[in-house]
Amino acid sequence: MSETRLIQGRYRLLDPIGRGGMGEVWRARDESLGRQVAVKCLKPLGPHHDPSFTRVLRERFRREARVAAALQHRGVTVVHDFGESDGVLYLVMELLDGRDLSRLLDDNEHRPLAVPDIVEIAEQVAAALAHTHRQGIVHRDLKPANIMRLADGTVKICDFGIARLGHDIGFTARLTGTGIAMGTPHYMSPEQIGGTEVDQRSDLYSLGCVLYEIATGAPPFDLDDTWAVLVGHRDTPPEPPRRHRAELPEYLERVILDLLAKHPEQRPWDAHELYRRIVAGRTVPSYVPTVVAPRPRPRPPEPAGREARLPSWTRGMTTGPKATGTALRTTPPAPAAGLTGEWTTRALTAGTGEPAPDARPGPPPATARALADRHH
């Protein structure tokens, strides 16, 4: 795209700030309102692409616009406009400076973040998820690259392209029918892996994986083999984070392990309950969950054939980049990676709505860093 290109006679593309296999993000000027915005463009796909795959990508892109536009919370990205211009689908979002958690880990030389930062991030994401889940929306792809921290310490959730509205099961079935996996292996819940129905507690599991990584420097199942990662999520208890980092508070370890429970009923019921536990852990010397559920019994040994109990869509799946050690992508990803999560950005969008009544954001962390290139 040319830097002088004008989208819909209104949005003038200035310079690219992110690029992925399926499209680009541009810093642009809204000529009508005289403000700078971010414009996310889906590249036109040629005839050599599978038509069903192309339809899925376009539907996911439209869905991201609809879902994000319905959410008004300071911890969620906000969408200004959406449309199609000369065959290019575009999404116009508020332009804000910040870095996603993947970049923060990279900038920290793959070391875990400071404990106060971890707690602050956990609290703000829990508040944003509480609002999102109250609207009946499950994100389904929560990971470090989709959580952005602004220069003032505000934390925002990005990329709702594969989110699911609670009442829209038929639409979800059409999206998943193509065999494109919903989620990223290192952060997928056991129920996503098993192909069963997911609810808001699946997002909580993914958040547990994110918190584990920023607290220890690696995701709970830090393996290169996709099958081993998926089976780890499904069957293997995670190693307690304090074994990797003894200075972590006990209550924070308990929060993370509760989020990583294999069965949804053993996790916090919703993000509001999670938010309450985090706040309580910051103010009391010991962490005691409100509901103590029995731990699951060990699963029977895996039958012969290591893919016997994994859904068919996992065959041939690759793990994709983890948050830590991610390098700049120079070739387009495999189509199975989907649309969201392929964006490499240093400036993204953010919501400006008021926080939910239960969301009481704390002061910006003292260690908020300067803007750097965001990369997935």
Average pLDDT over residues 22-45: 88
Mean pLDDT of 188-204: 92
Q: Which of 59-73, 137-151, 206-220, 293-307 has the lowest mean pLDDT?
A: 293-307
Residues 6+ apart with CB under 8 A from 71: 78, 131, 132, 135, 137, 160, 351, 353
pLDDT at 175: 38
* Mean pLDDT score of the chain: 76
The residues assigned a catalytic role are 141
For residue 318, pLDDT beyond 90: no
Give the CA-trace dihedral at 272, 273, 278, 284, to 10 degrees.
Answer: 130
**Letter string b/e over residues 296-331, b meaning 16 or more CB atoms within 10 A of that residue's CB:** eeeeeeeeeeeeeebeebbeebebbbbbbebeeeee
What pairing do the DSSP bridges indicate for beta strands 96-100 and 137-138? unpaired
Higher pLDDT, 116 or 67: 116
Band of residue 266 on the pLDDT scale cut at 50, 70, 90: very high
Domains, the chain, ordered by start:
6-94 (3.30.200.20), 99-346 (1.10.510.10)
Supply the pLDDT for residue 21: 59
Q: pLDDT category, 340, cuts 50, 70, 90?
A: very low
Of residues 73 and 352, which shows the higher confidence score?
73
Please provide the DSSP assignment of 241-297 as one string. Answer: GGGT-TTS-HHHHHHHHHHT-SSGGGS-SSHHHHHHHHHHHHHSSS---SS-PPPPP
pTM given for the model = 0.72
Q: How confident is the model at residue 314 (pLDDT cuts 50, 70, 90)?
A: low
CA atoms of 150 and 16, how far apart (whole Å): 19
Mean pLDDT (whole number) for 3-23? 82
pLDDT-derived band of residue 47, with 50, 70 and 90 as boundaries? low
In this model, does residue 370 exceed pLDDT 50?
A: no
Please determine, for residue 60, whether its predicted confidence score (pLDDT) is greater than 90. Answer: no
CA distances from 360 to 121, 136, 241 (A): 12, 21, 26
pLDDT (tens digit per residue) in 202-256: 999 999 999 999 999 999 999 888 899 999 999 999 999 999 999 999 999 999 9
**What's the pLDDT score for residue 316?**
53
- C-alpha Rg value of the chain to the nearest Å: 20
Q: Residue 157 has what pLDDT?
A: 94
Question: Which whole number is the average pLDDT over 96-116?
Answer: 91
